[in-house]
Amino acid sequence: MATRTTGKRLPYLAGGGVVAVVAALFALMFGVGSAAAVDKELTYKGAFPLIGEQTVSTVVHVDIPEKATAGETLSVPFSIDVDAGEATTQGLQLVGAKKLSGGIKASVTLTISDGQSVQVPVELPIPETAVPTEGTLKFTAEGSVDFTVPAGVPAGEATTKVDPEAVTHVVTDSSLGEFDVNLSLAPPEQDTVLGKTQVG
């Protein structure tokens, strides 16, 4: 966690109050107005079937606005480039896998000016990807969420960070079938700040 295209919309949340809070906080991350493109490189480790613990390299892509204003409708694009390594390719080849798909479940934490922090789930589909004949397994997971930003967001600086845990659900066309890989930041002290936004 490349080209970016619009993925399917992801319905995570129910309940008007929760949706309003999360939408407002998403606005702090990706809001409207001038924005700075962020490419955050992070590495994770996780245990894979057959091949054991592996390092997974990712790049998170998102546009962090310099300023944000509540009350506007916006579409939030985000994507993660994933390099799962050469050993993953070899493991999938060992069981005869020709292709894979699935999804990534992660989250970000937004801290607003009054000290409140909210964890926002992010779920991205993994497109059907051919297992390479050699080299590392790479893919890009991407999606978007559309909503109207409610009024009432506190003024001040908001900080967005990537949370240290993620889960990759992998679907293969092999005897492995489907499996999950639980990922953790490694090393854990990596800088996970995506950016800061001034809310007016």
Would you kindly state where each structural domain of the chain is located, as residue ranges? 16-199
b/e 151-181 (16+ beta carbons within 10 angstroms → b): eebeeeebbbbbebebebbbebbeebeeeeb
DSSP single-letter state for residue 70:
T
User: What are the beta bridge partners of residue 57?
Assistant: 43, 83
34 band by pLDDT with thresholds 50, 70 and 90:
low
Rounded to whole angstroms, the Cα distance separating 183 from 164 reads 8
Question: What pTM does this model have?
Answer: 0.78
Mean pLDDT of 162-176: 96
For all residues of the chain together, what is the average pLDDT?
79
Q: What is the pLDDT of residue 10?
A: 35
Q: How many CA atoms lie within 13 A of 4 on its CB side?
A: 15
Report the SS3 class of residue 21. helix
150 band by pLDDT with thresholds 50, 70 and 90:
very low
**Residue range 70-112, pLDDT digits in tens:** 655 555 678 999 999 999 999 999 999 999 999 999 988 878 7
